[in-house]
Amino acid sequence: MSEKQVSVAPRRRSPAEAERLAAEFEASGLSRGEFCRNRGLKVSTLDAYRKRRRQAQREATGAARWVAVQVSGARQPDGDAPRSGLAVVLGSGRRIEVERGFDAGTLGQLLSVLERS
């Protein structure tokens, strides 16, 4: 007796479902592979959902991809102030400053956390 092969089309998720999965991943703390294995999802599909979510967030907030930057001349540090390799001052007045020889991996982790908030 022969068995019939059944072909199953990939499941299409609604935009709301895709958004929910992307948000769950961001909050999960899991690697992309772990999250996708747990949910029966392809990593490339999750990546597409995350990209769509970031684009929607940028459009909703009116965030631009490029911002104006003003480069100022070198200045001498005040007294005991540490010498900075790089400083970014945000419009809110907050300042992100790193010393020469900083750990780029740590900065990358910090930026990843800040982008999620």
Q: Are 86 and 50 contained in the same domain?
A: no
In a domain, 1, yes or no: no
Does 48 share its domain with 90? no
Check whether residue 53 and residue 96 sit in a common domain: no
pLDDT digits (tens, 9 = 90+) for 79-90: 566 565 777 777
- Three-state SS for 60-112 is HHCCCCCCCCCCCCCCCCCCCCCCCCEEEECCCCCEEEECCCCCHHHHHHHHH
- Whole-prediction pTM value? 0.47
**Domain encompassing residue 111:** 67-117
Q: Which of 47, 65, 83 is the last residue of a domain?
A: 65
Q: Which residue has the higher pLDDT, 86 or 32?
A: 32
- 74 and 98 in a common domain: yes
- Note whether 58 and 102 are same-domain residues: no
**Number of structural domains in the chain:** 2
